[in-house]
Amino acid sequence: MSAEEVVKDIEYKPFLDPSALYASNDELLQHEDLRGLNLLMGFTGSSDAGQVVQQITAELLENLDSEPVAFFDIDQLLDYRSRRPRITFAEDHLSDYQQPSLALHRMIDSLGNPFLFLTGNEPDLQWERFSAAVLGLVRKFDVNLVAWVHSIPMPVPHTRPLGVTVHGNRPDLIEGISSWRATVQIPSAIGHVLEFRLQQAGRNVAGYAIHVPHYLAEAEYPPAAVAGLEYLGAAASLMLPSERLREAGRDVERQIGEQVQSSADVQNVVRSLEHQYDDRTKDTPTRSLLADENDQLPDADALGAAVEAYLASQDPAEGDGGQPPQ
């Protein structure tokens, strides 16, 4: 047995108590039975193309009744200097400090159905201990299904249906849905690690990676957030609010259409992406949208200066798109 195989066979056990990473809302737990609910997850971090998770989190917390179940000790999990929280300097004083947080909420959907929602900043540190803590909560509440969402930039046009890559151990939630099926090594997010650990523990889990047109990845793209809400709602049998995001999405689509029409270069880029998309989905809808006929990834430089010109044309005052979501 190789050294690598030996390491893989070792079950990691945190040296410190994982439950010490969070504080529970004991008053809520005394009055509410949270067992058997579905758990949704979404984390903001180094990658949130189209600010999908950020929009979904805001939509759920602002529109649904919620109570905190547990607060994680963010000071133990976040590297503040690599991901500095935002604060506003207003003429002569500071205000609107966007304090990082990571919490588990009990929420009620639009039809009165309760569910759990774990959201906040993706941890920079103690991933295994954090994963053990989440798995402990899943066991404690005997969670029925864990469904999580994230988003990735893809070389696809905004004029075609948004794709999604689905993964997990629930075939009924996966088969026939993914528009990208490939075997690749990718940089993991905490959601991937949690999904892997949940699968090892035999818990039901499904993950949804929403495909965002890469030239819109740095901006807020509401249609992708709507898609994420729809997949999460369908997986967990929940009615999640999306009307405001749908209306915002229609406005964004009109603005994008106007900007595309005003630039022949951008029109050519979008048209090229449409041809590539149509060729990939015509006969083999599950083929990787990233790869060419030889399974080679396209050169990002081939997208040309037109995409850069498109991004440069965005008003930086609209959404602070160049900053990583917090």
The per-residue pLDDT for 53 is 97
| Residue 322 resides in a domain | no
The tokens describing 117, both together, are 């929602």
CA 104 vs CA 2, 11, 39, 45, 64: distances in Å: 40, 26, 9, 17, 14
Number of domains observed in the structure of the chain? 1
| Residue 138 resides in a domain | yes
Apex 239 CA angle, 235 and 245, nearest 5: 100
Q: Calculate mean pLDDT across residues 127-143.
A: 97
pLDDT in tens, 208-230: 999 999 999 999 999 999 999 99
The per-residue pLDDT for 87 is 95
Phi-psi region of 50 (alpha: psi -120 to 50; beta: other; left: phi over 0): left
| Residue 317 resides in a domain | no
Q: Which residues of 126-155 are buried (b: 16+ CB within 10 A; e: fewer)?
A: bbebbbbbbbebbeebebbbbbbbbbbbbb
| Residue 319 resides in a domain | no
- Distance (Å, rounded) from C-alpha 181 to C-alpha 227? 19
The tokens describing 199, both together, are 């699968």
The per-residue pLDDT for 230 is 96
Q: Provide the 10 A C-beta neighbour count for residue 238.
A: 22
- Give, as one character, the DSSP assignment of residue 203: -
- Distance (Å, rounded) from C-alpha 306 to C-alpha 304? 5
Answer whether residue 18 shows pLDDT above 70: yes
**325 confidence band (pLDDT: 50, 70, 90):** very low
The per-residue pLDDT for 200 is 96
CA 23 vs CA 57, 74, 251: distances in Å: 21, 11, 41
The tokens describing 144, both together, are 């029925």
| Residue 227 resides in a domain | yes
Q: Calculate mean pLDDT across residues 173-192.
A: 81
Per DSSP, which regions of the chain are E strands?
A: 22-24, 39-44, 66-72, 88-90, 93-95, 102-108, 114-121, 146-154, 164-168, 205-213
pLDDT in tens, 144-181: 999 999 999 999 999 999 999 999 999 888 887 766 66
Q: Which of 186, 208, 152, 179 is nearest to 277 (CA)?
A: 179
Q: Read off the CATH number of the domain in which 225 is found.
A: 3.40.50.10900
Torsion of CA 118, 222, 178, 131, to 10 degrees: -20
Percent of the chain with pLDDT over 90: 67
Sign of the alpha-carbon torsion through 67, 69, 73, 79? negative
Answer whether residue 10 shows pLDDT above 80: no
CB 311 within 8 A of CB 263: no
Q: Provide the 10 A C-beta neighbour count for residue 107.
A: 21
Q: Calculate mean pLDDT across residues 274-289.
A: 67
| Residue 3 resides in a domain | no
The per-residue pLDDT for 172 is 87
The per-residue pLDDT for 9 is 55
**66 confidence band (pLDDT: 50, 70, 90):** very high
| Residue 163 resides in a domain | yes
* pTM of the predicted model as reported, rounded to 2 decimal places: 0.82
Q: Which residues of 8-44 are buried (b: 16+ CB within 10 A; e: fewer)?
A: eeeeeeeeeebeebbeebeeeeeeeebeebbbbbbbb
Q: Which of 147, 298, 160 is nearest to 224 (CA)?
A: 160
Answer whether residue 54 shows pLDDT above 60: yes
Higher pLDDT, 124 or 291: 124
pLDDT in tens, 290-305: 334 443 333 334 333 4
| Pick from 6-10, 127-131, 266-270: least confident | 6-10
pLDDT in tens, 83-110: 899 999 999 999 999 999 999 999 999 9
Percent of the chain with pLDDT over 70: 81
Cβ contacts of 151 within 8 Å, gap of 6 or more: 47, 48, 49, 50, 52, 53, 209, 210, 211, 212, 224, 228
| Residue 70 resides in a domain | yes
**112 confidence band (pLDDT: 50, 70, 90):** very high
Domain that holds residue 110: 12-312
**283 confidence band (pLDDT: 50, 70, 90):** low
